[in-house]
Amino acid sequence: MSTTELCFTPASELAAAIRRRQVSPVEIVEAVLTRIEALNPHLNAFLAVDAEGARAAARAAEAAVMRGEARGLLHGLPVSIKDLEPSQGLRCTYGSKFFEHAIAETDGAVTERVKAAGGIVIGKTNTPHYGHKDMCDNLLGPPCRNPWQLERTSGASSGGAAAAVAAGLGPLAHGSDGAGSIRIPSALCGVFGFKPSFGRVPYWPNQDIWAARSHNGPITRTVADAALLLQAMAGPDARDPTTIDQMPEDYVAAVAQPLEALRGLRVAWSEDFGYAPVDPEVRRLTKAAAERFAAFGCQVEAVDPGWDDPREIAATAWYVSYAARLGDRYAQQPDWFEPSLAQMIEAGQRVSGVEHGRALLARTAFYQQALRFFTTYDLLLTPQMPLAAWSVEQGPSTIAGQPTPSMFDRLNFTFPFNLTGQSAASVPCGFTHEGLPVALQIVGRWHADTLVLQAAAAFEQAAPWAQMYPPLAAA
């Protein structure tokens, strides 16, 4: 295979080929490194690349295969780690000037599990300052760009991860999601993103564990690849006391035969929750995608969930968290903070303890509303993002003619399921007239990770997307 073909081969196929000695981990890693060298200057998807370490790990993985000692689901496969997670010996910036030259002294929980499964950490992907927003720029260098159109944003905060996967800079990427940060860039870059149930994958180290909001998960080109990476990452960890105290199901086997699991399910489709602005083209494409579920044996019903708009709840908790974590640094070095993050910190500092407490109470009430809704429906389908990728320079001022002054005005379909902790997948479902990706969101009941993956796999079988390469893929 050519370098491009090798870089766009699904990880699940590469893993099987490695075990059969049809392809070497060395070949795969060299192909990915070659492609990163060629394309990353255009994309800025990686903040650090560990070429020397990856090559050494690939040689060791190849030797193990030749000895018949290959172990682990990810043996010999390159994996990128978002730069909000430390990986020992590699640059770990958190997208912040305060850590511009920092080197991690330990592995985070995800990196540990990737390595234990035989994965090769290829580098650290770009993210905004402490992952605070849905655009992937920071003060460390140029912004991460969308491989479909370089003048558009990749989305964020896992923007580097999604852009890298879309452009073939490695088949497997780690992302994290506190208000949509796996699903946003996956949707805008045309790849598959999965936010597992809260606690399914440990989040350690984590300065704000008790916020109970952030999820680690996979970003990949195919559902099977996401199942593979999730299988390696998932499971309890006492260092994160919010992790689910049971071993994960067999996601890899579940997505291989998805249709049987969907027959007879009640599926809700909501195009706007009754309050969210949505671009008409996105509305049309996602509605057509939702209607496909009838062919899977599902009963699809258009609904308005009838729950309260949780925007103020999410925004208050978000701003307070950043004020608490970064307020002291902001006071010491304000010029190292982007206006967007500075505004969030200042907004959080204006919130009283009682107001924050009321937001937490309202979050509890919203969870109960969502729980009641899912006693009737097995899955909920929505647009993933209300518009396609916007300018890399600034966010859109309107959506479908409605003003959108805040980031949260364009995240109406993402942050509700960080508040509830439910699993949600971003599934590519078409392109706008400008050639930009659009995605459908699939949301499951409490802890229904397997079912959401199966629903995504069934949709992928009916309307595959992985063969669609962005223009940069030909570079």
Is the per-residue pLDDT at 405 higher than 80?
yes
pLDDT for residue 70? 82
- CATH number for the domain including 383? 3.90.1300.10
Compute the distance between CA of residue 118 and CA of residue 121 in angstroms, rounded to an integer.
10
Q: Does residue 391 carry a catalytic annotation?
A: no
Check residue 433 and give left, alpha or beta (phi > 0: left; psi -120 to 50: alpha).
alpha
Catalytic residue among 24, 157, 176, 186: 157
- Are the beta carbons of 200 and 219 closer than 8 angstroms? no
In 84-236, the DSSP E strands lie at 120-125, 145-146, 149-153, 172-177, 192-195, 215-220
Q: Could you read off the pLDDT of 276-333 as tens digits, one per residue? A: 999 999 999 999 999 999 999 999 999 999 999 999 999 999 999 999 999 999 999 9
pLDDT of residue 351 exceeding 90, the answer is yes
- For the chain, how long is the longest CA-to-CA vector? 63
Q: How far is CA 10 from the centre of its chain?
A: 18
If we measure between CA atoms, which residue out of 451, 448, 428 comes closest to residue 440? Answer: 428
Q: At what angle do helices 223-233 and 109-116 cross, to 10 degrees?
A: 110
Is the Cβ–Cβ distance between 380 and 273 less than 8 Å?
A: no
Count of domains observed in the chain: 1
Query: Is the pLDDT reported for residue 474 higher than 80?
Result: no
Work out the percent of the chain whose per-residue pLDDT is above 90. 98
C-alpha distances out from residue 177 to 182, 238, 419, Å: 5, 21, 11
Catalytic annotation present for 157: yes
Of the residues 12, 176, 181, 186, only one is catalytic, namely 181
- In angstroms, the CA 7 to CA 277 distance is 37
- pLDDT score of 475 more than 70: no
% of the chain residues with pLDDT over 70:
99
Average pLDDT value for residue range 69-96: 97
The string of pLDDT tens digits covering residues 250-279 is 999 999 999 999 999 999 999 999 999 999
181 is catalytic: yes
Distance CA 355, CA 358 (A): 5
Half-sphere exposure of 351 (CA within 13 A, CB side): 26
Q: Which of 12, 80, 82, 133 is catalytic?
A: 82
Looking at every residue in the chain, the average pLDDT score rounds to: 97
Residue range(s) defining the domain that contains residue 15: 3-474
